[in-house]
Amino acid sequence: MEKNFKFKTDIRVRYSETDMAGVVNNINFFRYFEIARTEYWRTAGIIVMDVLKRGLDVVMVHQECDYKQPVYFDEILEIGVRTGEIGDSSFTIDYRILRKATGEEVAAGKTVHVMLDVSSRKPCPAPDWARDILLNFENS
């Protein structure tokens, strides 16, 4: 895993995630991103339910994935997650998925998220406390 991906988590490919050819179906990479992102935020100190209690929400507005190699049932994948760009109300999360046994990169992607005010459902500036948590986590 590249050294600039400080956070990593493992996922074992389940049978239900594969197609008739035994290859992981492409949509599952976005599920892997979501699982890893949730663990990343939790480890950094951001609990999604606590964000909602503060009257804020985080919504995804864009996602992309570059598939580099097929992945098969029962393989263990190592997913690196990091915060990319942080704007006024949006931020980018980057992902790298490696085949744990060999270290080969099998996929890379990113998601873009926007902070919303729950009552108005309109974008709002990301609060300083959230920025500080992510920046401190990435720079520690």
C-alpha to C-alpha distance for 118 and 87, rounded to whole angstroms: 19
Backbone angles phi, psi at 66, to 5 degrees: -105, 120
Query: What's the whole-model pTM score?
Result: 0.92
The label of the residue with tokens 């949730």 reads: 38
pLDDT digits (tens, 9 = 90+) for 2-31: 458 999 999 999 999 999 999 999 999 999
pLDDT class of 140 with cuts at 50, 70, 90? confident
pLDDT digits (tens, 9 = 90+) for 76-132: 999 999 999 999 999 999 999 999 999 999 999 999 999 999 999 999 999 999 989
pLDDT on residue 1? 46
Least confident of 47-51, 69-73, 104-108: 47-51
Tell which residue, 23, 3, 1, has the closest CA to residue 13: 23
Fold (topology level) of 7-139: Thiol Ester Dehydrase; Chain A (3.10.129)
Q: What are the residue numbers of the active site?
A: 19
By the 8 A CB rule, do 10 and 94 touch? no
Q: Where are the domains of the chain?
A: 7-139
Tokens of 102: 């060999």
Mean pLDDT, the chain, rounded, equals 94
